[in-house]
């Protein structure tokens, strides 16, 4: 599926999804994208990274995406103009800011009808996270994509958040105890630095089990 959804549409889709949400980030090839077809979010890294993908290549992968999956473009300290150009080419639904972007840039993206996820590299004061104008916040370790986690016991915010950093099939149940709105998995879905379809499917299966437990609670 191609064709970007606006901020209100993305918010409405997410509101109707069961929690915890699952985001598979750093998709670069068709096998991984196909395995992640049932994820709540599919993440594409446009910033410089070993997982970087060109907007045109992301568009190709998204042509077969499930319409219920929200596509997310990850940027680090990029200009608003370049962000808008990239997501228009790729047909991306939402933007994840993972650098030192000011709140003013979030407001600029909102004005363009873009749903914004703001990543914070922990530790960050809870007050700073709470007052972010982003639609959703993401709490990550100090080294995103490294496979390292931070001390989840230090999370003390009331707003919904995605949890990232060192997550895999092995520790999702433990992380679930902290009540995040969802999980962002990248390196934990890889084998030797490459997205592993079997690991992605296992993560999604665990995610579905956690959704059922929350619904039954």
**Residues annotated catalytic, as ranges:** 25, 140
Among candidates 82, 80, 119, which has minimal Cα distance to 100? Answer: 119
Structure tokens that stand for 160 in this block: 């919904």
Give Cα 54 distance to the centre of its chain: 18
Asked whether the beta carbons of 142 and 151 are under 8 A apart, the reply is: no
Between the alpha carbon of residue 100 and those of residues 3, 39, 185, the distances in Å are: 28, 28, 21
Q: Is 107 helix (H, G, I), strand (E, B) or coil?
A: helix
Structure tokens that stand for 117 in this block: 């996820």
Q: Find the distance separating the first CA and the last CA of the chain, reported in whole Å.
A: 34
Asked whether the beta carbons of 86 and 93 are under 8 A apart, the reply is: no
Angle, CA 203 vertex, CA 175 and CA 124 arms, to 5°: 35
């Amino acid at each position: 599926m191609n064709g970007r959804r606006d901020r209100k549409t993305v918010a409405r889709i997410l509101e109707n999804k069961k929690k915890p949400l699952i985001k598979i980030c750093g998709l670069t090839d068709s096998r991984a994208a196909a395995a992640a077809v049932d994820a709540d979010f599919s993440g594409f890294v446009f910033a410089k990274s070993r997982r970087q993908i060109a907007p045109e290549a992301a568009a190709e992968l998204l042509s077969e995406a499930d319409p219920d999956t929200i596509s997310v473009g990850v940027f680090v300290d990029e200009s608003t103009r370049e962000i808008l150009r990239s997501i228009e080419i790729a047909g991306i639904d939402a933007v994840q800011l993972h650098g030192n972007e000011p709140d003013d840039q979030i407001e600029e993206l909102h004005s363009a009808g873009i749903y914004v996820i703001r990543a914070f590299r922990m530790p960050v004061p809870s007050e700073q996270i709470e007052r972010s104008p982003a639609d959703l916040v993401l709490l990550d370790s100090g080294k995103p994509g490294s496979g390292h986690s931070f001390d989840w016991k230090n999370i003390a915010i009331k707003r919904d958040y995605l949890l990232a950093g060192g997550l895999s099939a092995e520790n999702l149940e433990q992380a679930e105890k902290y009540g995040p709105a969802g999980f962002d998995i990248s390196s934990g879905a890889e084998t030797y630095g490459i997205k592993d379809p079997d690991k992605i499917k296992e993560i999604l299966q665990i995610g579905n089990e956690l959704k059922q437990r929350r619904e039954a609670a």
